[in-house]
Amino acid sequence: MGPLRTLYIDMNSFFASVEQQLNPSIRGRPVAITAMENEKGCCVAASYEAKAFGVKTGTSVPEARQLCPGIVFLPSRHRLYVRFNLRVAAVLDRHAELERIRSVDEFQIVLSGEETEIDSARALVARLKDAVAQEVGECLRFSAGMGPNHLLAKIAGKLEKPNGCQHLDRGNMPDRIAHLALDDLPGISRSMRERLERAGVRDIVSLCRLDPRHARAIWRSVEGERFVRALQGEPIPLVKTQRGGFGNSKVLAPEFRAPAEAYLVSRWLIEKAAARLRRDGRVAGSFALHLSPMGRFPWARSIRCAPTQDTLEFMRINRALWRRAWPEIRGGRLAAIGVHLGDVDYLTSRTGDLLLPVAPAERTQGERASAAADFINQRFGQGTIRFGVNRPHPGFFERG
């Protein structure tokens, strides 16, 4: 057995590449994907031809146009990209052992047998590149990283872009990544970098040589120890996370920024979040509302409630929170809003309530009505049944 256990695949400029695959006329041209179809939006993705001019994620549309006069702007179509994600995943799974889809453009593959050796792993990457190009599209390329665990494989996958292939293990660590800044590593935020620097850890080499027990103290969590042990090449597996809640947020288009309009959008967001909550068999014990007034400090409040999956109950709490916020936002404009259903647990774990009355794990009348609405909407189309007046605000995740 060789030193490698994980192959990490990072699709190159995935959104823009999908668009170029579907539209040959924009292949080889600078392309930017935008979240909003106006001059006030920003780029959420860019092709490598656009990146060569300095266009990157977060670049505003006017700035991108100035940097690259011939750039092509396209609205994001997330559902389309998800479909291509699944097509790529199917190809990878036929040719290798796909362990996990990490995101819409990232995949994790298990290496075993001969493929734990560097030469065999590189040969596998070459076969996967050919398979994706032939079975999904020639514009779809990826960079690959290999390592003894998911962290080193992911870092290796970022070292050579586009269309690269690199590996990290105890044989070339930490020298191979010594040129990186601390916050170039996944999981190291600016605040964590500052915390590390206060502890005397100012570069990658120092971090890699850190005693894992000291890392636990710096992180104030066992995750610090896990992180450093992974950097040192130990086979640290990913920990399965528990879902903390269901939420939706929206950067508002200009026509939705008046508080009265934004309130109706919040109702639409609640319908979507509550439907996902029920689809996952969960109940939520709290509801939070987040408002971002333009030119003012953000406003956020939450209310605890009996664990429920009743859309109308969340609507009632939402209305109460908007009433609290109204004196501070009336007459202004909102840049963004968000709702969050928190303190989640499974419906099967909920105890009964003699006052309702409802038996353990049994749905209330309102929850049964909500579930019936889900069934009808799934069969006849979203929005067939609504829980009162709302304002749909389709955007990044609804297109395609």
Burial class (CB in 10 A: 0-12, 13-18, 19+), 10: buried
What pLDDT is stored for residue 240 in this prediction? 64
What pLDDT is stored for residue 242 in this prediction? 64
What pLDDT is stored for residue 397 in this prediction? 45
Contacts of 12 (CB under 8 A, 6+ apart): 48, 141, 142, 143, 161, 162, 163
For residue 205, count other CB atoms closer than 10 A to its CB: 14
208 SS3 class: helix
pTM for the complete prediction?
Answer: 0.70
What pLDDT is stored for residue 37 in this prediction? 64
DSSP, residue by residue, 65-122: HHH-TTPEEEE--HHHHHHHHHHHHHHHHHHSEEEEEEETTEEEEE--GGGGSHHHHH
- The pLDDT averaged over each successive group of 10 residues in the chain (400 residues) is 92 96 96 77 89 90 92 90 93 92 92 93 97 96 96 96 94 95 91 93 95 94 93 84 78 87 95 93 94 89 93 96 94 92 90 74 92 90 88 62
220 SS3 class: coil
DSSP, residue by residue, 352-365: PBTTTTB-TTPPPH
Sign of CA dihedral 76, 78, 80, 81: positive
Residue type, 78: H
What pLDDT is stored for residue 358 in this prediction? 76
Alpha helices for 199-242 (secondary structure H): 204-208, 212-219, 222-231
What pLDDT is stored for residue 337 in this prediction? 93
Residues 247/252/256/261 CA torsion (nearest 10 deg): 30
List, in order of start, the domains of the chain with CATH numbers: 9-143 (3.40.1170.60), 245-380 (3.30.1490.100)
According to DSSP, residue 396 is labeled T
What pLDDT is stored for residue 379 in this prediction? 85
